[in-house]
Amino acid sequence: MCGIVGYTGVDAAAGLLVGELKRLEYRGYDSAGLALVKAPCAVDAADTARAADARDGRATLDIIRCAGKVAGLEDELATPGHGAVARLATCGIGHTRWATHGRPTVENAHPHVSCDGRIAVVHNGIIENFAELRASLEERGHVFKSETDTEVFAHLIEEAYQGAPNSAGGPAKTAGDLMAAVREACTHVVGAYGLAAVCADEPGVIAVARKDSPIVVGRGERGSYVASDVIALIDATRDVVVLEDGQFARLSPEGITYTDAQGRAIEPAVTHVDWDVDTAEKGGYPDFMMKEICEQPRVVRDTLVGRLASSGELDIDELGLTPEELSLVDRVYVIACGTSYHAGLIAKNLIEGWARIPCAVEAASEFRYRNPIITPSTLVVAVSQSGETADTLAAIRDARIKGAKVFGITNVVGSPVARESDGVIYTKANKEIAVASTKSFTGQVVSLTLLALLLAQTKGKLTTGQIRMLFRELGDTAEQIQHILDTQRAAVHEAALACREARSALFVGRGMGSAISCEGALKLKEVSYLHAEAYAAGEMKHGPIALIERGFPVIAVATKSPTYDKTVSNLKECEARGACIIAVATEGDEEITRVADHVIYVPPVRDALSPITATVPLQLLAREVAVLRGCDVDQPRNLAKSVTVE
């Protein structure tokens, strides 16, 4: 999610790093920063702090950070305080951050530095034991300047570099060796990291480490490079090394060396990249829609990072509402449009089921033109992928005037919805390019699930043990989505063939399945231009069944749930009229094959969490139908070519 770049070579590093960070902007972020290492001769004499180091013959480290866009770094680099550095430094690291531990502020932006200001670190991932490490480091005299977990790395590397005893308590073998100090620091950390570090005492060296967070390094004609995504390096080199877990790299202007966790030299495989920039942005996938569907496991993980405290209670520090204010909430409105509205339908089930608070879901375009019942104890939840939806903005402004508390769920930091809400959960979906929202929908559902759990926690309707269990199961959906992506492509393709020449389709389900069906129908319409409607399965006999004829596609969400038997009964009515039935069902369900022509299986999950997994087959189905019908799933709706079915 966060972006890492680094360069050491013969060219000015600042402009190169800024350009690479811009390449990573599609990932989404809320702050950015650079650390630049300069030789003594590169210091502006007017910069007295760094000039002192220069007189001592020492290289210097300059940190430039900003909240907001990378463009802010360019403005900072143009100031007198950083100008000479930007022109002359030939080694540096950069970062774009999505807030996890700590708010999106300058203080929390990367890079983070050691107490002596000589070491800087950028980091992607999560340090699970950072609280214990921070407390221990503070006891040893380290002073922290941010709320982040990453800063722990800067101080751990500093200790190792200065010669503190190693993790086994023996004499240090890392003093004065940045690469060895990074390896030693990693032995103390539990969690995931993609890491790059520089030290003013080793100008020109970048130390890199990887565990469970992508890191790519490469050698070009003008120097050595590191990034968290190959797209940042594609102009410099086409031959890259994708580090494996537990591997380390030392970059210098002369080249790159690789070691394992014990410091032994290794020779990792080199991968040649033959993508163009457009393909690189797609990550090798055939289109952005497929890429974004496949990013959903990461979206689940990233949206949940840092949300559960060690006490077992939910911790949403950007909420903006106190526990006392939340405890007074007696009515919830979820206002949204399109896909976000369908996420709201799921939230209604969760909020009423877990927190026992009445919840209504309304299209923002309708909410703003009527006179809803709003009091100071009303919570209005505004859901918007872009954070700029005009109807949603107008609705929350009206709600605030009437005294409601407003909570936003959006993918864009600093967007109008985020600014005008009392609190916000960011979905961490990164930039979404495909016209059909997929990963943002999943991020919204996960965020709304967190909100429902938080309300239930505040109201005392769920115990800490229940919260912890549900949170763990929510996290498990990331792996379950990946399982669907890995095992159900063939089943999706077969089902899509049955829809290819259809003129219309019907989506049905009950309970949570009904809300999922609405999203499935919308996706099919958006990308394949095939008419589709969604109904609660129990409403089939009240009109829709009259449309069923032989071969008519009926797509059913028929996962195991309290209403499973009733859903199957409704499908038998469609079967009797010759419908082609496509079912999304739970693994191990053989009964469904007696009524369905095609079955796409999903792992068994709690009914309350089924929308996160059961929607994925419908997204895949919509895309596959669109491809079979000759539609460009990456093309904006108003530019898409006409559909021709051969």
Residues 104-108, mean pLDDT to the nearest whole number: 88
Provide the domain count of the chain.
3
What is the rounded distance in angstroms from the CA atom of residue 352 to the CA atom of residue 339? 21
Rounded CA Rg of the chain:
27
Based on the fold, state whether residues 127 and 262 are members of the same structural domain: yes
Q: How many CA atoms lie within 13 A of 164 on its CB side?
A: 14
DSSP string, 107-133: TTSSPEE-TTS-EEEEEEEEETTHHHH
Domain range for 328: 282-462
* Residue 36 resides in a domain: yes
Whether pLDDT at 287 is above 80: yes
Based on the fold, state whether residues 216 and 358 are members of the same structural domain: no
CA distances from 355 to 223, 337, 512 (A): 57, 24, 17
What pLDDT, on a 0 to 100 scale, did the predictor assign at position 2? Answer: 80
CA distances from 81 to 61, 62, 167, 204 (A): 13, 10, 39, 21
Q: Which of 90-94, 297-301, 321-325 has the lowest mean pLDDT?
A: 321-325
CB 8 within 8 A of CB 252: yes
What is the rounded distance in angstroms from the CA atom of residue 123 to the CA atom of residue 115? 17
> Which tokens in the block code for residue 319?
């909420």
Angle at 346 between CA 345 and CA 351, to 5 degrees: 100
* Residue 470 resides in a domain: no
DSSP string, 303-318: HHTT-B-TTSSB--TT
Whether pLDDT at 126 is above 90: no
Based on the fold, state whether residues 261 and 289 are members of the same structural domain: no
What pLDDT, on a 0 to 100 scale, did the predictor assign at position 43? Answer: 45
DSSP string, 349-395: HHIIIII---EEEEEHHHHTTS-----TTEEEEEEESSS--HHHHHH
Can you tell me whether residue 608 is helix, strand or coil? helix
The active-site residue, picked from 2, 186, 294, 359, is 2
CA-CA-CA-CA torsion sign (531, 537, 539, 541) = positive
Nearest residue to 17 via CA among 1, 30, 36: 36
Based on the fold, state whether residues 418 and 567 are members of the same structural domain: no
The active-site residue, picked from 145, 173, 541, 641, is 641
Based on the fold, state whether residues 125 and 201 are members of the same structural domain: yes
Based on the fold, state whether residues 431 and 575 are members of the same structural domain: no
* Residue 111 resides in a domain: yes
Looking at 401, 429, 462, which one is the last position of a domain? 462
* Residue 242 resides in a domain: yes
* Residue 85 resides in a domain: yes
Contacts for 370 with CB less than 8 Å, ≥ 6 apart? none
Looking at 227, 250, 274, which one is the last position of a domain? 274
CB 577 within 8 A of CB 604: no
CA distances from 235 to 6, 12, 15, 181, 287 (A): 14, 16, 14, 31, 21
The residue whose two tokens read 């221990």 is: 136
Based on the fold, state whether residues 449 and 510 are members of the same structural domain: no
Based on the fold, state whether residues 406 and 384 are members of the same structural domain: yes
Q: What b-and-e string marks burial along 524-543, b requiring 16 or more CB atoms within 10 Å of the CB?
A: bbbbbbbebbbbbbbebeee
CB 276 within 8 A of CB 415: no
> Which tokens in the block code for residue 182?
């990074």
Which value, to the nearest 10 degrees, does the dihedral of the CA atoms of residues 297, 302, 304, 306 take? 150
Is 499 assigned a catalytic role? no
Banded model confidence at residue 167, pLDDT cuts 50, 70, 90: low
pLDDT higher at 636 or 94: 94
Q: For residue 75, with 0-12 CB atoms within 10 Å meaning exposed, 13-18 middle and 19 or more buried, which class applies? A: exposed
595-607 confidence digits (pLDDT tens): 999 999 999 999 9
* Residue 266 resides in a domain: yes
What pLDDT, on a 0 to 100 scale, did the predictor assign at position 52? Answer: 47
Q: For residue 373, with 0-12 CB atoms within 10 Å meaning exposed, 13-18 middle and 19 or more buried, which class applies? A: exposed
* Residue 471 resides in a domain: no
547-576 confidence digits (pLDDT tens): 888 999 999 999 999 999 999 998 998 888
Banded model confidence at residue 273, pLDDT cuts 50, 70, 90: confident
Q: What is the largest CA-CA distance in the chain?
A: 89
- Please indicate, yes or no, whether the overall pTM of this predicted structure exceeds 0.75: no
Q: Which of 352-366, 447-461, 573-587, 622-636 has the lowest mean pLDDT?
A: 622-636
Looking at 257, 274, 291, which one is the last position of a domain? 274
For the domain that residue 556 is a member of, what is the CATH number? Answer: 3.40.50.10490
372-391 confidence digits (pLDDT tens): 899 999 999 999 887 777 78
DSSP string, 5-64: EEEEESS-HHHHHHHHHHHTGGG--SEEEEEEEE-GGGS-TT-HHHHHHHHTT--EEEEE
CB 517 within 8 A of CB 557: yes
What is the rounded distance in angstroms from the CA atom of residue 318 to the CA atom of residue 560? 36
> Which tokens in the block code for residue 354?
């877990």
Residue 572, strand partner residues = none
> Which tokens in the block code for residue 247?
């591997």
What is the rounded distance in angstroms from the CA atom of residue 393 to the CA atom of residue 644? 38
Give the residue ranges of DSSP H helices in 488-563. 489-499, 512-528
Whether the link from the prior residue into 111 is cis, omega within 30° of 0, is: yes
Based on the fold, state whether residues 222 and 312 are members of the same structural domain: no
Is 641 assigned a catalytic role? yes
Based on the fold, state whether residues 404 and 267 are members of the same structural domain: no
* Residue 643 resides in a domain: no
What pLDDT, on a 0 to 100 scale, did the predictor assign at position 325? Answer: 85
Angle at 409 between CA 404 and CA 413, to 5 degrees: 115
Banded model confidence at residue 430, pLDDT cuts 50, 70, 90: confident
Whether pLDDT at 315 is above 50: yes
Strand 598-602 with 580-586, pairing:
parallel
Based on the fold, state whether residues 234 and 142 are members of the same structural domain: yes
Contacts for 250 with CB less than 8 Å, ≥ 6 apart? 178, 179, 205, 206, 207, 208, 256, 257, 258, 259
Based on the fold, state whether residues 68 and 195 are members of the same structural domain: yes
Q: Which of 27-31, 371-375, 516-520, 573-577 has the lowest mean pLDDT?
A: 27-31
Q: What does the chain come to in residues?
A: 646
> Which tokens in the block code for residue 548?
């069923």
Nearest residue to 444 via CA among 456, 432, 458, 459: 432
What pLDDT, on a 0 to 100 scale, did the predictor assign at position 415? Answer: 74
